[in-house]
Amino acid sequence: MYDVIIAGSGPAGLTAAIYACRSGLKTLLVERAFAGGQMAISHMIDNYPGFEHEVTGAALANSMKLQAQRSGADMVTEEIRSFELLGDVKKIETSKNTYEGKAVILAMGAEPKKLCIPGEEEMIGAGVSYCATCDGAFFRDGEVAVIGGGNTAVEDALYLAKFCKKIYLVHRRDAFRASPSLVAAAKETDNIEFVLDSIALSVNGEYAVQSLSVRNSKTEEERQLFVTGVFFAVGQIPKTKLIEGQVELDEAGYIRSDEGCKTNVRNVFCAGDIRTKPLRQIVTAVADGAVAATAALGFEI
């Protein structure tokens, strides 16, 4: 029996593991694929304190993972199939084992949202991608489109601009959710063209992406962007499917919790992008991890 089981090893889960172990809790960290979550696939991170120069997401993820291991957390790479959170003993069933714990920290994060336009699903892996850092290199010297107006979209456009010939940044409004400094950097980048007030209609092509159709919502004018890659960056959805009906969620599916990262279920805490919160960043995810692990230290018997 573990004192605490942490589900998910992004910055929130890894930090929770470091704090839980340092408090003497017997800690298990369960991760489906690789440590670091979305941080691990971020190209460069420039807003996490402590680094005079930019750091790659992969490097930061690896450091956090090594630190969590050094703290003494058990770490397994297994896909979680189900949670039983309501009893005194919490159970997590994975593809290989069932684990029991006195407390659980939910830190599974969020995943990219799909736009569900014609051609999107069919062309995944044939030009449609949800991760510029993972797939961008396939489009070296090519022309690509990025859809979205948040930090991810603008960061993706800036990243791709380093080695692609042309990037169309397609956004449904003319104001950006992304931070002004990123938008300013994109505006100064010669090979990024802003396609604003524009709705993506369909991804076109027979066996691979050949174009993206967009419509200007003000002029109703339709346009074909001749690209071989389309990167969707239209937001995130929380990974809370497996805990629906057990833990209280908000309308968008994020976990409701108090300032101490406590959910409505006894000895169940949450941390990182999976929570209802105003700012989803690495720096707030690690803060949640520390708070949740400290709250878990006082688990009620």
Query: Between 58 and 297, whose beta carbon lies closer to ligand NAP?
Result: 58
The closest of 222, 175, 221, 220 to 212, measured between CA atoms, is 222
Q: Which residues of 50-67 are buried (b: 16+ CB within 10 A; e: fewer)?
A: eeeeebebbebbeebbee
Residue 234 as a binder of ligand NAP (CB under 6 A): the answer is: yes
Of all residues in the shown chain, the one whose CB is closest to ligand NAP is 150
Q: In the chain, what is the straight-line distance between the N-terminal and C-terminal CA atoms, in Å?
A: 14
Residue 236 as a binder of ligand NAP (CB under 6 A): the answer is: yes
Whether 258 sits among the annotated catalytic residues: the reply is no
Q: How far is 168 from 174, CA to CA, in rounded Å?
A: 14
- Choose the binding region for ligand NAP from 77-85, 118-126, 137-145, 230-238 (rule: CB under 6 A): 230-238
Whether 134 sits among the annotated catalytic residues: the reply is yes
Selecting among 3, 21, 135, 288, the annotated active-site residue is 135
Residue 186 as a binder of ligand NAP (CB under 6 A): the answer is: no
Amino acid at 173: R
Residues 112-141 that bind ligand NAP (CB under 6 A): 115
As beta bridge partners, residue 229 has 144
Outline where the chain has alpha helix (H).
Answer: 11-22, 37-40, 57-71, 132-135, 151-161, 180-187, 282-297
Give residues with Cβ within 8 angstroms of 291, minimum separation 6.
Answer: 259, 260, 261, 271
Query: Between 136 and 148, whose beta carbon lies closer to ligand NAP?
Result: 148
Cβ 245 to ligand NAP shortest distance, Å: 26
| Main-chain dihedrals φ then ψ at residue 232, nearest 5 degrees | -90, 125
How buried is 103 (Cβ within 10 angstroms: 0-12 exposed, 13-18 middle, 19+ buried)?
Answer: buried
Whether 135 sits among the annotated catalytic residues: the reply is yes
Selecting among 134, 174, 250, 258, the annotated active-site residue is 134
Residue 25 as a binder of ligand NAP (CB under 6 A): the answer is: no
Query: Between 56 and 77, whose beta carbon lies closer to ligand NAP?
Result: 56
Contact residue for ligand NAP among 114, 172, 256, 266 (CB under 6 A): 172
Q: How far is 211 from 115, CA to CA, in rounded Å?
A: 16
Residue 152 as a binder of ligand NAP (CB under 6 A): the answer is: yes
Given a contact cutoff of 8 angstroms between Cβ atoms, the answer to whether 74 and 86 are in contact is: no
Contact residue for ligand NAP among 67, 77, 217, 281 (CB under 6 A): 281
Query: Between 88 and 220, whose beta carbon lies closer to ligand NAP?
Result: 220
Query: Between 199 and 297, whose beta carbon lies closer to ligand NAP?
Result: 199
SS3 112: strand
Residues 77-116 that bind ligand NAP (CB under 6 A): 115
Give the number of other CB atoms < 10 A from CB of residue 76.
13
Contact residue for ligand NAP among 8, 101, 149, 272 (CB under 6 A): 149
Query: Between 211 and 236, whose beta carbon lies closer to ligand NAP?
Result: 236
Residue 198 as a binder of ligand NAP (CB under 6 A): the answer is: no
Active-site annotation, residues: 131, 134-135
Which residues would be at the binding site for ligand NAP (CB under 6 A)?
47, 115, 148-153, 155, 172-173, 177, 233-236, 280-281
